[in-house]
Homo-oligomer: A and B are copies of this chain.
Amino acid sequence: MKFVGVDIGGMSVKVGVVTDKGEILFKKSAICHPERQDSEIAAEIASLINVVIEESGVQRSDLAGIGIGCPGSVYDKKGVVRYSCNLNLRNTPLAAWIAERVGIGNVRLSNDANCAALGETLFGAGKGAMNSVMITLGTGVGTGIVVDGKLLTGNKSAGAEGGHIQIDVGGRTCGCGKKGHFEAYASATALIAQTKEACAKYPDSLLAKLAASEGVDGKLPFHAARAGCPVAQRLVKRYIKYVGMGLVSFANIFYPEVIIIGGGISNEGDAIIKPLQRYVSRNVYGAEYNPKIKVVAATLRNDAGIVGAAALCM
């Protein structure tokens, strides 16, 4: 069987036809008009799905379902988008509308980050795993959790907000306003803040000099650490420890086969993956009796959303 995967973004919608092995046979994207009425947005998406099915050459009778990943708060079981910051969707029964307009009954909906986690788990960095935690280190910290091959989204899909677990009593203020959350230590935003603090404290360090000439982003401390700056090396080591603490919390709850690191920071590759692997292996509870939990970087990149959305129907 084959499946349609839809990845809705604030700027574009991507639609692909996906095999049950997670291969994309054909895909196409279109500009999204986020300011339009929700019924118009649904009509545009349905129209793109119809075009993609047509142009892919796949028979409709070969399609087992349509999966949709959408940013924002999505009530998976009801197929409803509660709200989305970037799109004009409010309590929109998107799954039902797409089903009606495309003429395929089996339409599933989930949050876009959850879909990416499902895609990476089943067909990307976690290939073959049935249990995973994907941690996306970006502007915030996103978490997508797969248990027995299915997304865990919490009651009424309100859970999986793992960026907001406590890792420090009191501590740094999170984007959500509370103190000591994982996201306030482990996001790229948090790393940038930590880098700026280190530059202010050590103005003669290579880190501070590079910051002055290149500006500060999530790559800078890794770059300066590779260039031998001890301030940057300490900074990176401490940052990785913070990330590791969060990973171990998830590992102790879920004991997944694999933890997948996504987001911009994961581009640092072994510089972050290897020390995180060591931290998790050393600190997870019961490691001596249980299989090793692998820590890996995400691999599907921009296709994770389409593949993962399709996987909602598998």
Contact = CB atoms under 8 A, between A and B. Distances in A.
Interface in A246-261: 246, 248-249, 251-257
B159 A253 contact: yes
A249 B174 CA distance: 14
Nearest to A77: B148
Given A161-B253, A253-B145, A290 B156 contact: yes
A145 B171 CA distance: 28
A252 B167 contact: no
A212 interface: no
A249 B158 CA distance: 13
Interface in A270-302: 283, 285-286, 289-291
A101 B253 CA distance: 35
A259 to B, nearest CB: 11
Contacts of A242: 169
A26 B159 CA distance: 39
B249 A155 contact: no
B253 A165 contact: yes
A178 B249 CA distance: 12
B155 A254 contact: yes
A131 interface: yes
A159 B255 contact: yes
Given A155-B131, A245-B166, A286 B252 contact: no
Q: What interface size band does chain A fall in?
A: 35 or more
Contacts of A164: 248-249, 252, 285
B290 A162 contact: no
Nearest to A241: B169
Contacts of A143: 253
Interface in A221-261: 242, 245-246, 248-249, 251-257
Contacts of A255: 154-156, 158-159, 161
Contacts of A83: 289
Contacts of A161: 252-253, 255, 285-286
Interface string A138-166: 00000101010000101110111110111
A287 B257 CA distance: 31
A168 interface: yes
A165 B130 CA distance: 22
B169 A249 contact: no
B158 A289 contact: yes
Interface of A: 73, 82-83, 130-131, 143, 145, 147, 152, 154-156, 158-162, 164-169, 171, 176, 178, 180, 242, 245-246, 248-249, 251-257, 283, 285-286, 289-291
In the complex, the 8 A-B pairs of residues with the closest C-beta atoms, listed nearest first: A154-B255, A159-B255, A158-B255, A165-B249, A131-B155, A158-B290, A166-B245, A161-B252
